[in-house]
């Protein structure tokens, strides 16, 4: 049986992934892909800098969902943790 991670550990893993893109796999929607690499970089930088999580968008305290304004777009991001 796999141990369940607590919210503090999941939040730490999500913060590392969001800020550094290490420790996981990045998946972009087709819409973000069509924006081109430069705008993708701007968006990913905004996601990395995002630190305003609240109970409305982060009810479990895992820092796994948010929205940013970047490259002329409003972009939502979601981080899912899968234990392999």
* pLDDT attached to residue 81: 77
Please, which pLDDT band fits residue 1 given cuts at 50, 70 and 90? very low
Q: What percent of the chain has pLDDT over 70?
A: 93
Mean pLDDT value across the chain: 91
Block residue for tokens 């996981």: 24
Query: Are 76 and 64 within 8 A, CB to CB?
Result: no
**Helix H segments across 1-84?**
7-20, 30-33, 37-49
Residue 62 has pLDDT above 70, yes or no: yes
Q: Residue 3 and residue 73: Cα distance in Å, rounded?
A: 39
Strand 65-70 to strand 73-78: parallel, antiparallel, or no bridges (unpaired)?
A: antiparallel
Instruction: Assess whether pLDDT exceeds 70 at residue 84.
Output: no
List the domain boundaries for the chain.
7-78
């Amino acid at each position: 049986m796999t141990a369940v991670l607590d919210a503090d550990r999941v939040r730490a893993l999500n913060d590392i992934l969001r800020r550094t893109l290490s420790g996981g796999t990045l998946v972009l929607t087709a819409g973000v892909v069509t924006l081109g690499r430069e705008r993708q970089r701007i968006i990913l930088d905004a996601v990395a800098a995002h630190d305003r999580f609240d109970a409305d968008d982060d009810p479990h305290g895992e820092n796994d969902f948010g929205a940013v304004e970047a490259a002329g777009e409003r972009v939502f991001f979601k981080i899912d943790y899968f234990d392999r």
